[in-house]
Structure 1
Amino acid sequence: MSEADRPHATSEADRPRGAQEPRLRTRDRGRPRARLPIRVKVALPLALAGLIALLVTGNALRPFDRITTIEARMASKSDYFKDPEVQRLLLKHGLRVDIHRLGSRGIATQSLNGMDVVFPSGQPAAKLILNRQDRSVRSVRPFVTPLVLGTFRAYAETLQKAGVATPQPTTDGGRTLYYDLDMREFMGLLDGRTGKNDQDEVGDQDGDDVAERADTWNGIGFDEAGGRSNSGRVLVRTSSVCESNSAGTYLSILAFVANNDSTPGAGEADEAKAMQEAADVSRKIKPLIDLQGMWADEQADSYLSDLGESIAPISLIYEHQYLAHQIEYERKYGKQDTDRVLLYPTPYALTEPQLISLSDKGDRLVRVIEEDPALRQRAIELGFRVRFSGEDGTSDQLNDYLGEHGIQVPTPNRDETKVYEPDLDVLQEIINSVGSCPPPVRDIP
């Protein structure tokens, strides 16, 4: 038998395999079920609550919405649009504001190319901007705020002893936050002369050049109490009159008082006579500004800083900046900041910031500011006196809010004399003369 015909043993690997029945594996009921990690259990309720909140507020699809960026040039009232809550409310409308900071007069005189809105802090700059437009513009004046002088209690009490400032009454008999300031008497401290014995605008008739102590803080009694001393002059730290609305408005107050409580150039049909009156007033008030120097930064930031008192005893600010500080201070510490106080000038001046649209995107922002009640309420919470239905100014809502938060409500002075800015040409003549302002940068095509 050949080897090929000889039978071989069949190995296990060579044997054909039959199809096996599929096995259905079931979980052993005795085996414990796998549990979610603790961190997942903790996160699930939070995620669910966040989803519900997004659905309720209508923000579930917000990441997919198109956000329109508004290019804006603003002065001091940019504080409003920098507020996180205002930014959140604007995002609900699909708007984000990109702020380019500049003084009001700088906004009014420089190129506005690429801007969607501008927000000068007062009417003189707003008029200059509106006069430059060749399209029908949409604008809104959402709130007003008085011009004030921020100081510290020891200095306010010194002015009170000098007969220049009068404390406003409080309802609880505590220390007041507010004083009324007689500008005519106060200007007598700023002019570098005693005031009582002067015979003319420059000095005594006999021409004696006498060093005056009455115009220093120690000269009016600052060093008589508390063991403190300040031999520096009584001055007001302002922004540059060449750049800012607040300094220009302060200049209008000084000019009004120096012109015998009359707006320079008002009612004068002869333009040459109006400009001459402006020049005369400028000579009178220029020393009041020159002595203090002119600063270009934001005064409220310095005044409200920890080093505010060492920087300047008196700073020119807006009321809303001080009230916003008090609201935030009360929220943090549960009490008022009684070290910082306000001086309300008499006569007084209100500033009316105006949001002016320069494009279709700007129109959207103006419309939202006009119509959204939440944005108006937030303005009140930031210390503004919000305008309603075309009224000049509404203080009731602000006063109620301050009272609810334990902050003293300022009371109107019985002397209601209000300063109105001179006509644009007259005001610019005063500003240029007092500030020795350089020609404005005009890069308008």
Structure 2
Amino acid sequence: MRRIAGIVLAVLLLGGVVAAVVAGREEQDTSTATKTVRGVIGSEKAEFFADPEVVKALAAKGYTVKTETSGSWAMEGLDLKGYDFAFPSSQAPAEELAAKYRARKPLPRPFYSPLVVVAHRGAAEVLRQNGLAELKGSSGTLDMGAYLKAAEDDRTWQQLKGAAKYGELTGTLYIATTDPAASNSGALYLAAASYVADGGRVASDTAAVERTAPLMRKLIQVQGAQQPSSDAAFRDFVSGAGNPLVLVYESQVAALLAQGQEVGDLVVLYPDTTANSDHTVVPLTKEGRALGELLSEDPALRKLAVRHGFRPQGGGTEFAAATTGRTTYLKQQLTGVRQAPVPTSEVLHEMTRRARG
């Protein structure tokens, strides 16, 4: 009997220890509890939200963020019930989502990134020799007017002076972009190109779309199959695959440089007329709005956004300080780069439809 009583007592004591450990864990979990918010984001922000330092900074403010990626324009077709926020890559799709879900204005815009064209050194030099670009170090400016004229004339690389010594430069000269029907960068490319092609006028109606439709169709259809996201297009370029000229976000280049990765003969061309990608949060719940405001205002998260190549709103000095030593590739001040106004969503959709044929 004594032995049995001893065993029972030991079990009870062990149970008490286990209960104490569980209670201790529960108490510890309560003290570090975070609110879980779910969102759909553009693929170019996936690495930012996956960064352990970003996860830690968000947790310190009481948030665990779970994300899924989608093309910015493709978010329109998603059922976002049960999500706390959507985070497309520019204001146009954000405004459309805000109207659909009756999101309160203003919409948080934590950071932005201009569109750039990445090229290999040989391609960039050929563009320079033919008056299509200016170079300084491993960065330069792409003359959009001259480029669009070459595209309209169906120029090939073989017709350009100096291209013969680069075996990879063959076929029609074009900038590879993402699918404008699904991806923000592809749609913004059309916005900037149509603005230049129409003499510096932003497309505002069907007549304006029709004036540039033949050229926009050439710019898109010459590419054949297009990537659905800028992340995939940039990875292909860095790996040495794909077209000699690829439209990406400056943030993707800046992030790669910040990581100290090998970039080979990369040259970054800033179109002299481009469109900024204003990454805009569409709050679907109060938690989603709080997250958007936190990304905009918290110093630690702004610093981490810069580390991932983004330019915080009103943070020119932050970006300049973080990119010191990388100005061979990056323009800290966007001097000489004109921002093309972006058409309304309705007009841009029509432009895309006509461009894709």
TM class, shorter-length: 0.7 to 0.9
1:419 aligns with 2:345: no
Within the candidate set 149, 154, 159, 1:219 is matched to: 159
- Map of 1:45 onto structure 2: none
Return the alpha-carbon distance in structure 1 between the equivalents of residues 234 and 289 of structure 2.
35
Q: 1:103 Cα deviation (Å)?
A: 0.8
Alpha-carbon contact 2:183-2:229 (below 8 Å) kept: no
Within the candidate set 332, 338, 347, 2:273 is matched to: 347
- Residues 315 and 306 of structure 1, relative CA distance in 2, 3 Å threshold: closer
- Residues 414 and 74 of structure 1, relative CA distance in 2, 3 Å threshold: closer
Deviations 1:286-323 (A, max 9, x none): 11111012423333444345863332211110001001
Q: Where do residues 372-411 of structure 1 align in structure 2 (5 Å cutoff)? A: 372-388=298-314, 394-403=315-324, 409-410=330-331
Alpha-carbon contact 2:87-2:279 (below 8 Å) kept: yes
Q: 1:165 Cα deviation (Å)?
A: 0.4
1:435 aligns with 2:356: yes
Kindly provide the amino acid, as one letter, of the partner of residue 291 in structure 1: V
1:107 aligns with 2:38: no
Kindly provide the amino acid, as one letter, of the partner of residue 221 in structure 1: K
Return the alpha-carbon distance in structure 1 between the equivalents of residues 103 and 338 of structure 2.
37
TM-score (ref. length: structure 1): 0.68
Return the alpha-carbon distance in structure 1 between the equivalents of residues 329 and 171 of structure 2.
31
Unpaired segments of 5 or more residues in structure 2?
1-26
Return the alpha-carbon distance in structure 1 between the equivalents of residues 212 and 101 of structure 2.
32
Alpha-carbon contact 1:72-1:118 (below 8 Å) kept: yes
Q: 1:160 Cα deviation (Å)?
A: 0.5
Deviations 1:133-189 (A, max 9, x none): 335367310111101111111111110111100013xxxxxxx12110001111122
- Map of 2:21 onto structure 1: none
Alpha-carbon contact 2:152-2:215 (below 8 Å) kept: no
- Map of 1:188 onto structure 2: 149
Return the alpha-carbon distance in structure 2 between the equivalents of residues 306 and 255 of structure 1.
25
Return the alpha-carbon distance in structure 2 between the equivalents of residues 417 and 135 of structure 1.
31
Alpha-carbon contact 1:258-1:285 (below 8 Å) kept: no
Return the alpha-carbon distance in structure 2 between the equivalents of residues 275 and 117 of structure 1.
32
Alpha-carbon contact 2:257-2:326 (below 8 Å) kept: no
Return the alpha-carbon distance in structure 2 between the equivalents of residues 166 and 411 of structure 1.
17
Q: 1:122 Cα deviation (Å)?
A: 0.5
Unpaired segments of 5 or more residues in structure 1?
1-59, 169-175, 194-214, 266-273, 389-393, 437-445
Return the alpha-carbon distance in structure 1 between the equivalents of residues 168 and 325 of structure 2.
38
- Map of 1:33 onto structure 2: none
- Map of 1:146 onto structure 2: 114
1:276 aligns with 2:207: yes
- Map of 1:65 onto structure 2: 32
Deviations 1:330-358 (A, max 9, x none): xx67xxx3511111111122111111211
Asked which structure has the greater CA Rg, the reply is: 1
- Map of 1:42 onto structure 2: none
- Map of 2:7 onto structure 1: none
- Residues 230 and 122 of structure 1, relative CA distance in 2, 3 Å threshold: same
Alpha-carbon contact 1:222-1:229 (below 8 Å) kept: no
Which structure shows the bigger proportion of residues in helix conformation? Answer: 2
1:88 aligns with 2:56: yes
Return the alpha-carbon distance in structure 2 between the equivalents of residues 246 and 281 of structure 1.
19
Alpha-carbon contact 2:319-2:332 (below 8 Å) kept: no
Q: 3-state SS of the aligned residue for 1:72?
A: strand
Return the alpha-carbon distance in structure 2 between the equivalents of residues 74 and 411 of structure 1.
26
Q: 1:94 Cα deviation (Å)?
A: 2.6
Percentage of pairs with the same residue = 24
Return the alpha-carbon distance in structure 1 between the equivalents of residues 199 and 208 of structure 2.
12
- Map of 1:258 onto structure 2: 197
Kindly provide the amino acid, as one letter, of the partner of residue 350 in structure 1: N
Within the candidate set 211, 231, 243, 1:312 is matched to: 243
TM-score (ref. length: structure 2): 0.84
Kindly provide the amino acid, as one letter, of the partner of residue 79 in structure 2: S
Kindly provide the amino acid, as one letter, of the partner of residue 88 in structure 1: K
- Residues 415 and 138 of structure 1, relative CA distance in 2, 3 Å threshold: closer
Q: 1:232 Cα deviation (Å)?
A: 2.0
Return the alpha-carbon distance in structure 1 between the equivalents of residues 71 and 162 of structure 2.
34
Return the alpha-carbon distance in structure 1 between the equivalents of residues 349 and 336 of structure 2.
28
Deviations 1:69-93 (A, max 9, x none): 2110111333322222111211212
- Map of 2:138 onto structure 1: 177
Within the candidate set 170, 177, 186, 1:247 is matched to: 186
Aligned residues: 330
- Map of 2:259 onto structure 1: 328
Deviations 1:392-420 (A, max 9, x none): xx322212221157865416565453200
- Residues 137 and 100 of structure 1, relative CA distance in 2, 3 Å threshold: farther
Q: 3-state SS of the aligned residue for 2:101?
A: coil
Return the alpha-carbon distance in structure 2 between the equivalents of residues 180 and 107 of structure 1.
32
Q: Where do residues 158-169 of structure 1 align in structure 2 (5 Å cutoff)? A: 158-168=126-136
Deviations 1:37-83 (A, max 9, x none): xxxxxxxxxxxxxxxxxxxxxxx946853232211011133332222
Alpha-carbon contact 1:181-1:343 (below 8 Å) kept: yes
Deviations 1:72-123 (A, max 9, x none): 0111333322222111211212311111111111113432211101101001
- Map of 1:211 onto structure 2: none
Deviations 1:341-385 (A, max 9, x none): 111111122111111211132133123223321001111111111
Q: 1:224 Cα deviation (Å)?
A: 3.8
